[in-house]
Amino acid sequence: MNQLYDNTPKAERALLVGVESDRIESKEAASLVRELSGLASSLGVEPVATIMVKLREKTAKLLLGSGKADEIVAAAKAEDADSIIFDHSLSPIQQRNWEELSGLKVYDRAELIIKIFSARALTREAGLQVELARLEYALPRLAHSYEELSRQRGGRYGTKGSGEQKIELDRRSIERRIHDLKEELKEVRKSRDVQHKRRQRLSLPRAAIVGYTNSGKSSLLNALTQADVAAEDKLFATLDPTTRRLSLGSGASLLLTDTVGFVRNLPHGLVEAFKATLEEASGADLLIHVVDGADPERERQMETTRKVLTEIGAGLLPLILVFNKTDLADPETLEDWRRSYPEGILVSAKTREGLKELAANIEDKLSSDMEELNLLIPHTQYALIPLIHREGVVLEEKSGEENTLVRCKMPSRLISRFEEFVVQN
């Protein structure tokens, strides 16, 4: 008798462990573990239950006391979980001990985020950066791997057993690969720097879209520029900096870059690995800080974004605050935004509500650094006219037999280029 089988891969079932401590209060711990649940779901892992624990005194063996550890393992077994994910960093030996105790996969937030980045990386640079972060995370865990340690039998004193030799070979192999990855990344970054300099030669002003992961940055870039950047309702849906040209109402243009989303407790290795996309923010003329206004954790997310911007030297750049996803917010929440952040702009990348106001605000911010000039451009220098239209705001233009008189507003960074053509009123 024929029987139909469901060949769909079974989703990993995970028990999540949130941790309170003297530095993390219960409200913050609950918020972080909710975010951990979103991270797990983003990877296709099904969070089946959550346990909150109070960390009064760390233990070297399991981080927690043996009684609480047994309780967590029992809960994981009762939920038929495949893994246990901690919202707290685990040392290599702690991770190995937990896996030995539970017989399940056990990892922490850092490893979960690395797994997500590994699944999302599309370009060569992102792929290299993720592999580098993964190997640097794995290297100190190599010597404590239970499978490797189980092979260390039979070695005489003063000599290396087969397990130790295998670990040493693996360590050297990983260290060589880390060195090669860093060299490859240098070459990729050289190529990116060349592209960056080409964009700078265009003299176009640059704006960077920044914000917490899943706030709708890519969707906003698509809506403003009619681009087709990948945008999903997932944490870290896009990892690579994407730049598109945005034409403004006056005819001026700017380069608009979408950057990787921020998240609390991002592994240090990944902060370094994705420095490329953050450099796009620190080198911008204007930041567009996008907030998921429908998220109850938006205040914490805004604080995280501000903190990271300060860390990368972008904290004092001109900034436009944008509350996205107004289509998902109730009228009371919208009114709360207006009252608490009167400078914020309410938009919906999905319905396009507020986009005209945002574009006008971007133009106002960029033109606030402009100076009005009267320029007399000889026809022999006519190539400068398109530049004026592209970079500035043309108020009046009259063409004569030998010259073109242009009254315009010009960004301060370009004024020196036109000094010889300036005429008085």
* DSSP output for 301-363: HHHHHHHHHHHTT-TTS-EEEEEE-GGGS-HHHHHHHHHH-TT-EE--TTT-TTHHHHHHHHH
Find where tokens 């605050």 sit. Answer: 321
d(CA 308, CA 305): 5
CB atoms < 10 A from the CB of 171, how many?
Answer: 14
Are 208 and 352 in the same domain?
Answer: yes
Claim to verify: residue 361 and residue 223 sit in the same structural domain: yes
Of the three residues 337, 366, 395, the one that is the final residue of a domain is 366
Residue 95 pLDDT greater than 80, yes or no:
yes
Span 138-165, pLDDT tens digits: 888 775 553 433 443 333 333 444 555 6
Q: Taking residues 310-327, what's their average pLDDT?
A: 87
Calculate the average pLDDT of the chain: 82
Q: Is residue 4 part of a domain?
A: no
Query: What percent helix, strand, coil does the chain show, rounded to 5?
Result: 45, 20, 30
CB count in 10 Å sphere of residue 309: 22
Q: Is residue 290 packed enough to be buried (19+ CB in 10 Å), middle (13-18) or exposed (0-12)?
A: buried
Write out the two tokens for 137: 């995370």
Residue 228 and residue 355 in one domain: yes
Residue 285 inside a domain? The answer is: yes
Read off the pLDDT of residues 251-279 as tens digits, 9 standing for 90 and up. Answer: 667 888 887 777 887 766 666 655 555 66
pLDDT for residue 158: 38
User: Model's pTM, two decimal places?
Assistant: 0.69
Residues 342 and 380 grouped into a single domain = no
Block residue for tokens 């240090």: 268
pLDDT for residue 98: 96
Question: For residue 236, which of 117, 124, 322, 125 has the smallest C-alpha distance?
Answer: 117
> What's the total number of domains in the chain?
4
Contact 394, 251 (CB under 8 A): yes
Same domain, 72 and 145: no
Give, in order, the Cα–Cα distances in Å from 374 to each of 38, 381, 414, 425.
55, 16, 14, 7
370-378 and 403-411 strand pairing: antiparallel
- Domain assignment present for residue 86? The answer is yes
Query: Is position 292 within any domain?
Result: yes
Same domain for 183 and 324, yes or no, is no
Domain assignment present for 7: no
pLDDT of residue 233: 52
Separation CA 206–CA 378 (nearest Å): 29
SS3 9: coil
The phi and psi torsions of 287 (rounded to 5 degrees) equal -110, 140
The yes-or-no verdict on residue 200 having pLDDT over 70 is: no
Structure tokens at 133: 């972060």
CATH of the domain at 348: 3.40.50.300
Query: Strand 206-211 and strand 242-247: pairing?
Result: unpaired
Query: Are 384 and 418 in contact, with CB atoms under 8 Å apart?
Result: yes
Same domain, 229 and 314: yes
Judgement on whether residues 302 and 410 belong to the same structural domain of the protein: no
pLDDT at position 54 over 90: yes
Q: What is the pLDDT of residues 116-141, one digit of tens each?
A: 877 777 678 778 888 888 888 888 87
Q: What is the pLDDT of residue 282?
A: 72
Query: Are 398 and 361 contacting, i.e. CB atoms less than 8 angstroms apart?
Result: no
Domain extent, residue 405, equals: 370-421
**Residue with token string 């360590």:** 171
* Amino acid at site 131: E
231 has a pLDDT exceeding 70: no
DSSP state for residue 56 in the 8-state scheme: S
Spell 79-101 as b/e; 16+ CB within 10 A means b: eebbbbbbbbebbbebbbbbbeb
Q: Who contacts 376 (Cβ-Cβ below 8 Å, separation ≥6)?
A: 403, 404, 405, 406, 421, 423
Do 258 and 349 belong to one domain? yes
The reply to whether 377 and 313 lie within a common domain is: no
In whole angstroms, what is the distance from residue 307 CA to residue 90 CA?
25
Query: Residue 39 falls within a domain, yes or no?
Result: yes
DSSP E strands, 92-149: 105-108
- Tell me whether strands 13-20 and 83-86 are parallel, antiparallel or unpaired: parallel
The overall longest dimension of the chain from CA atoms, in Å, is 97
In a domain, 214, yes or no: yes
75 with 146, same domain: the answer is no
For residue 102, pLDDT over 90 is answered with: yes
Distance from chain centroid for Cα 359: 23
Question: In the structure encoding, which two tokens stand for residue 243, read together?
Answer: 């730049």
Tell which residue, 129, 127, 89, 93, has the closest CA to residue 109. 89
38 plus 138 within the same structural domain: no
Q: The domain that contains 89 carries what CATH number?
A: 3.40.50.11060
Using 50, 70 and 90 to split pLDDT, how confident is the model at 65? very high
Classify residue 380: in a domain, yes or no: yes
H-helix or E-strand spanning residue 244 = strand 242-247
Compute the distance between CA of residue 357 and CA of residue 347 in angstroms, rounded to an integer: 9
- DSSP 8-state class, residue 380: G
* Distance in angstroms (rounded) separating the CA atoms of residues 318 and 287: 6
Interacting residues of 386 by C-beta distance below 8 A, sequence separation 6+: none
